[in-house]
A and B are shown apart, each in its own frame.
Chain A
Amino acid sequence: MEKHLFTVSVYTENNIGLLNRISAIFQRRHINIESLNTSASEIEGVSRFTIVVFMTEDQIKKIIGQIDKQIEVIKAFYHRDEDTIYQESALFKIKSDLLFEERQIQNIIKESNSRIVTVNRNFFVLEKSGRREEIELLYRELSVYGIMQFTRSGRISVSKEEMKISKMLEAFNH
């Protein structure tokens, strides 16, 4: 069976230790997590994990079942890339001199749709949100001139189809 990139979305209670519990499910099957992000969700008090993994659909189904049965997991979903809107965010720290000395850098910034977050005498910070390929392209372009620091976030994603968490929680209250 063919492997794909899957985005796993897990709605959970906001609980210490749950990250451990969820990551252990991947760990015991020796699956590398490509990226992981935790944040608030659209529902007050409910957290959301966004996990990207590369595996077969057969495997991801089993893993979703094992995540879903954790007590504090409200519901887990998995999606293929085409079923989600997704983004990553990256920060580049670069020497300020370059901004004035290398005309090309200004063009790169414009063309890449990235944004200058701050500038001071020593360095400036560039922020770029987008798909992985776009960020990687920008990285390659800037690395020619030297990058002082680089960091990229995990994927965040929303699904095209509805994930009926509010309805599930409402059903519990009634």
Chain B
Amino acid sequence: MSFWEKIYLPAVLNGMRITFSHFFRKKTTIRYPEKKREFSEIYRGRHVLKRDDEGRERCTACGLCAVACPAEAITMIADERRPGEENLYREEKYASVYEINMLRCIFCGLCEEACPKEAIFLTKRIIPADYEREGFIFGKDKLLEPLDADKRIDVSKRETTAVLKFKKDKTKKHNL
């Protein structure tokens, strides 16, 4: 070590200069409850089960999402639509139980890709913390979007025309 290195002081002063330059720098802290971090428009968070324009559930309980799910987080029980329930379910078959275990889910979005009925989408919302494991198993009560038109969940950002076109393209094997 040279003389100046041995007496430490220049290095110490340089270090202090560097830390002081950070003193007036813009702080990276986001004050959480008041201010939330901006999410990407196509963020993959909590799922939603969409209804169609008339408020009927789109899901037909085909089970493709459960098959596609790499984490095996989705369970469903299918049921037949009874007469008089046409205003509730779009197809003759529907899911009477539809559960996603949010602790297993890896938010990959494969369920959304697999869905032929445009029923399941991932949204910008996040899964809140809970004290019980049971609280993370989201049933239809939490997944299904509300009926009221103004409370509908907007998924237009993820529902791009390119994706819709691809999904409805009958020349593709998966849409046959």
Does B bind A?
A: no
Q: Which residues of A contact B (CB under 8 A)?
A: none
